[in-house]
Chains A and B, each alone.
Chain A
Amino acid sequence: NAGVTQTPKFRILKIGQSMTLQCTQDMNHNYMYWYRQDPGMGLKLIYYSVGAGITDKGEVPNGYNVSRSTTEDFPLRLELAAPSQTSVYFCASSYRGAGAGNQPQHFGDGTRLSIL
């Protein structure tokens, strides 16, 4: 059982370049999330999805876009990379969300992204 799989594991981008961070889960979870983790800071929610075709902004969505065409996949798009987007990005999923038993989130191992 693979759980949550993120690709790539590492990437270096130049300022202004674009890229997509991939996230796939095989647990048939409805809820999926993207976070960024900066040194000394807690994880910050970028976007989340409660099911295929439904997405919503989190705390820090600026500079990012998402889509959710299938239950399994939740890619994160950076359109014009900026140095402030240098971070470790984590994708997570859960069976249900708030108000439904508070299911814990299962995380991937992250994508380490540097913008130079």
Chain B
Amino acid sequence: EDQVTQSPEALRLQEGESSSLNCSYTVSGLRGLFWYRQDPGKGPEFLFTLYSAGEEKEKERLKATLTKKESFLHITAPKPEDSATYLCAVQAGNYGQNFVFGPGTRLSVLP
């Protein structure tokens, strides 16, 4: 069974304090790994797609990396506006359009 776990469940950082979020996955035939940001009361907002081990993507203070079993979302010198829940999702090759989502990491960046 395809599974996605994320850690930590919640993370509190001081402004400027860099850290990483983890997404571990067990799927048959990874077709893509997605990172989303979700603000309270809003739908997920797309950040990155990673396709193969070793791939990296960057956007402002965020950098996503991928290995064969996990992905990291590195946050460099975060600002309070980076506070959100970060979701990881994988698309497996088993069937159809099933995207398996992790439960998310709730990030708080304090000024």
Mutual binders A and B: yes
Which residue in chain B gives the minimum CB-CB distance to A90?
Answer: B43
Say yes or no: A102 contacts B51, CB within 8 Å: yes
Asked if B72 is at the interface of the complex by the 8 Å CB criterion, the answer is: no
- Mark interface residues in A77-101 (1 if CB within 8 Å of B CB, else 0): 0000000000000101000011100
Minimum C-beta distance from A49 to chain B (A): 9
A107 near B43 (CB under 8 angstroms)?
A: yes
Q: A98-B91, A109-B43 are in contact. Are A45 and B49 (CB under 8 A)?
A: no
Q: Assess whether B86 is interfacial by the CB under 8 Å rule.
A: no
A3–B15 alpha-carbon span in the complex (Å)? 32
User: In chain A between 17 and 64, which residues have their CB closer than 8 angstroms to a CB of chain B?
Assistant: 31, 33, 35, 40-45, 48, 50, 56, 58-59
Are B31 and A102 in contact, CB atoms less than 8 angstroms apart?
Answer: yes
Within the complex, which residue of A42, A97, A99, A105 is in contact with B100, where a contact is CB–CB below 8 Å?
A42
Q: What is the CA–CA distance of A8 and B23 in the complex, to the nearest angstrom?
A: 32
A105 touches B103 (CB 8 A): no
Cβ of A66 within 8 Å of any chain B Cβ, yes or no, is no
Residues of chain A within 8 A (CB-CB) of B101 are 35, 42-44
* A104 in contact with B43 (CB, 8 Å): no
Q: Is the CB of B43 within 8 A of A58?
A: no
List 21 A–B pairs whose Cβ atoms lie within 8 Å, in order of A's numbering: A31-B97, A42-B102, A43-B101, A48-B96, A50-B97, A56-B96, A58-B98, A98-B31, A98-B93, A98-B96, A99-B31, A102-B31, A102-B91, A105-B46, A106-B46, A107-B36, A107-B44, A109-B41, A109-B43, A110-B41, A110-B43
19 extra interface residue pairs, beta carbon distance < 8 Å, beyond A35-B101, A50-B97, A110-B42: A4-B43, A31-B97, A33-B97, A41-B103, A42-B4, A42-B100, A42-B102, A42-B103, A48-B96, A56-B96, A58-B98, A59-B98, A92-B43, A98-B31, A102-B34, A104-B46, A105-B99, A107-B44, A107-B45
Show the binding face of A for B, using Cβ within 8 Å.
4, 31, 33, 35, 40-45, 48, 50, 56, 58-59, 90, 92, 97-99, 102, 104-110
